[in-house]
């Protein structure tokens, strides 16, 4: 179940970093002095970066049993995916700059995908939600109301985030699916989602697209925290294709809000297809065992 621990330790050894160094790097950062107001994308990018480092630190410092008892960090799917299938997932939309462009790439390759939408953005951009639904090709899933870190929220706030997010969901979904922001699950959230008939899903493969965002290269500590091998630190497409091959397919985590993802989406699709995988959606019955 915790197969990532030896993998992270191997990576650390290759990079000559100790878990303690990593834990120190992952310590919460002092808030930066107020500069110009960061864009929504930049703000979210910084949050994802910090969440990844915090997750790495907690994994290094806690026992798997303790994390399990708190229902934390369940987003890395432990069970193997059905062979030969890949489900691309796009989080954090709908996005006025990218959703439609992602839709056209998917249409060009005639492949389906799953969109994990943030409730308040669905309310803000209903026309984009309608476009995704009108394609009849893709599935929409919930990704909370406003994308908070559930590990920082009390029970009431968690419940409200879930409930308000679900209120935005289309009514005729065959399979109701939820993904926690940052993959940060809680026992309380799990119980509420299951009571509302939702299945929770993480990912088999992290594209680490958030880490490649700026110059197309991943910083060393982010490469470690996301599991990007040394040879792919400047090769987003190579990382995704190799990670998919290594897991024999499965659910792939990507984001609408990072420019790099859209810029290389066609190459990612072509590389995965060349390796013989077939694309599907997260609500495919063959992926049922990958949902919680
Ligand atoms: Zn997200």
Q: Where are the domains of the chain?
A: 85-290
Q: Which fold has domain 85-290?
A: TIM Barrel (3.20.20)
Residues in CB range of 143: below 8 A, 6 or more apart: 91, 92, 116, 117, 118, 119, 165, 178, 179, 180, 181
Centroid of ligand 1 to alpha carbon of 149 (angstroms): 10
Neighbours of 265 (CB within 10 A): 24
User: Which residues lie at CB < 5 A from ion ligand 1?
Assistant: 91-92, 181
Mean pLDDT of the chain: 86
pLDDT-derived band at 13, boundaries 50, 70, 90: very low
pLDDT-derived band at 26, boundaries 50, 70, 90: very low
pLDDT-derived band at 114, boundaries 50, 70, 90: very high
Query: pTM for this structure?
Result: 0.86
Centroid of ligand 1 to alpha carbon of 177 (angstroms): 14
pLDDT-derived band at 85, boundaries 50, 70, 90: very high
pLDDT-derived band at 54, boundaries 50, 70, 90: confident
Centroid of ligand 1 to alpha carbon of 276 (angstroms): 29
Specify which of 23-32, 164-173, 190-199, 205-214 reaches the highest per-range mean pLDDT.
190-199
Centroid of ligand 1 to alpha carbon of 16 (angstroms): 31
Residues in the chain: 292
Centroid of ligand 1 to alpha carbon of 80 (angstroms): 23
């Amino acid at each position: 179940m915790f197969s990532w621990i030896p993998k992270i330790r191997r990576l650390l050894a290759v990079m000559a970093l100790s878990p303690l160094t990593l834990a120190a790097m992952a310590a919460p950062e002092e808030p930066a002095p107020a500069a110009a107001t960061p864009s929504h994308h930049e703000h979210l990018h910084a949050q994802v970066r910090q969440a990844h480092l915090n997750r790495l630190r907690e994994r290094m410092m806690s026992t798997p049993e303790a994390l399990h008892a708190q229902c934390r960090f369940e987003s890395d799917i432990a069970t193997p995916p059905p062979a030969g299938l890949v489900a691309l997932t796009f989080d954090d939309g709908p996005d006025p700059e990218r959703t439609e462009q992602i839709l056209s790439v998917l249409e060009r390759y005639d492949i389906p995908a799953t969109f994990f939408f943030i409730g308040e953005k669905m309310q803000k951009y209903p026309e984009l939600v309608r476009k995704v639904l009108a394609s009849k090709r893709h599935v929409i899933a919930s990704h909370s109301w406003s994308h908070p870190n559930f590990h920082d929220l009390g029970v009431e706030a968690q419940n409200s985030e879930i409930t308000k997010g679900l209120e935005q969901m289309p009514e005729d979904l065959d399979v109701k699916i939820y993904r926690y922001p940052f993959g940060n699950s809680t026992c309380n959230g799990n119980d509420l989602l299951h009571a509302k008939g939702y299945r929770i899903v993480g990912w088999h493969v992290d594209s680490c697209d958030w880490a490649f965002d700026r110059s197309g290269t991943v910083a060393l500590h982010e490469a470690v925290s996301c599991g990007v091998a040394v040879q792919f630190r400047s090769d987003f497409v190579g990382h995704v294709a190799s990670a998919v091959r290594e897991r024999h397919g499965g659910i792939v985590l990507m984001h609408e809000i990072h420019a790099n993802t859209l810029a290389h989406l066609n190459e990612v699709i072509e590389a995965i297809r060349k390796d013989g995988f077939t694309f599907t959606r997260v609500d495919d019955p063959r992926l049922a065992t990958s949902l919680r």
